[in-house]
Structure 1
């Protein structure tokens, strides 16, 4: 039988118990490199811009659909002069590009909301987006064009 000295046994057990400091530092460095690579790939500011662009695009789409439904219901576009009888509209050749919060289109928004094609709080909910949406339109022919300038790279391409 062989006898083990107590010092030999304690040295063997101490080696088995855990990782060395060097091994831990290498693992932490690798995880850090992976985290930096992942962060660079996801680009959090680009994600925020994409979220903003998606919100503006949804607002734009909602206004466009409401304008088309308004025309189907009233047989004229919402930016026409409702005080005149019969209702008069702008010159078909005078297509202007204005933001959705301009006086012309604020009146149009009010008409669409009154007709029930947009929710009553549409202007409140979309207040910070209305100046980023550009609209032009005529009544004869019935035409509405809506656009916006995207801020994210993926929406620009």
Structure 2
């Protein structure tokens, strides 16, 4: 008597499911979605830092002063949300929507000299932390690359 076998056995299905599970775990560990989210956050902060720095430089070129006057002394952190961003928006150096960005509260501004400003942020991703070379005070001075607490500053 000959049996017509038209399906998979339970063992065959379990083996396929186990193999798919192993592949899924391997792919997720290689991609590391949390690290990818952190990299995306760092890219957004880097972009906002560069945009804010460019706006400060344009403002300085036009008015020969920064929008905060003397409120941001040398090598002191100043939350970027209060460092003249409203003035930049009023003078059309940034769009008014820029003031409402969530990353703005994570950026810090330091004025090193009369005409040199850094916009800094603390990186989240391991990749960005490994290349961060500015000191933990985010004051624009170079420290040891990859040290804990280091910032990424614009200009680099």
Normalising by the smaller structure, the TM-score range is 0.7 to 0.9
Which among 58, 76, 89 is matched to residue 113 of structure 1? 89
Tell me by how many angstroms 1:23 deviates: 1.3
Deviation at 1:144? 0.5
- The TM-score with structure 2 as length reference comes to 0.74
2:104 maps to 130
Rounded Cα–Cα distance in structure 1 between residues aligned with 2:38 and 2:124: 6
**TM-score between both structures, scaled by the size of structure 1:** 0.73
Three-state SS of the structure 2 residue aligned to 1:39 is helix
SS state of the match for residue 129, structure 1?
helix
Q: Whose RCO is larger (CA < 8 A, sep 6+)?
A: 1
TM-superposed CA distance for 1:151, in Å, is 0.9
Over alpha carbons, which structure has the higher Rg? 1
Q: Over the residues paired in the alignment, what is the CA RMSD in angstroms?
A: 2.1
Who is 2:125 aligned against?
152
Instruction: Give the match for residue 49 of structure 2.
Output: 60
> Size of the alignment, in residue pairs?
130
User: Would you say 1:75 and 2:64 are equivalent positions?
Assistant: yes
1:131 Cα offset (Å)? 2.5
Higher helix share: 1
Tell me which of 70, 73, 76 is aligned to 1:96: 76
Q: Secondary structure at the match of 2:96?
A: coil
Aligned equivalents of 2:117 and 2:31: distance in 1? 36
In the aligned structure 2, how far is the partner of 1:153 from the partner of 1:22? 42
Q: Distance in 1 between matches of 2:62 and 2:50?
A: 18
> Does the 8 Å CA contact 1:90/1:138 hold for their aligned counterparts?
no
Matched-pair contact (CA < 8 Å) for 2:112–2:118:
no
Instruction: Look up the match of 1:42.
Output: 31
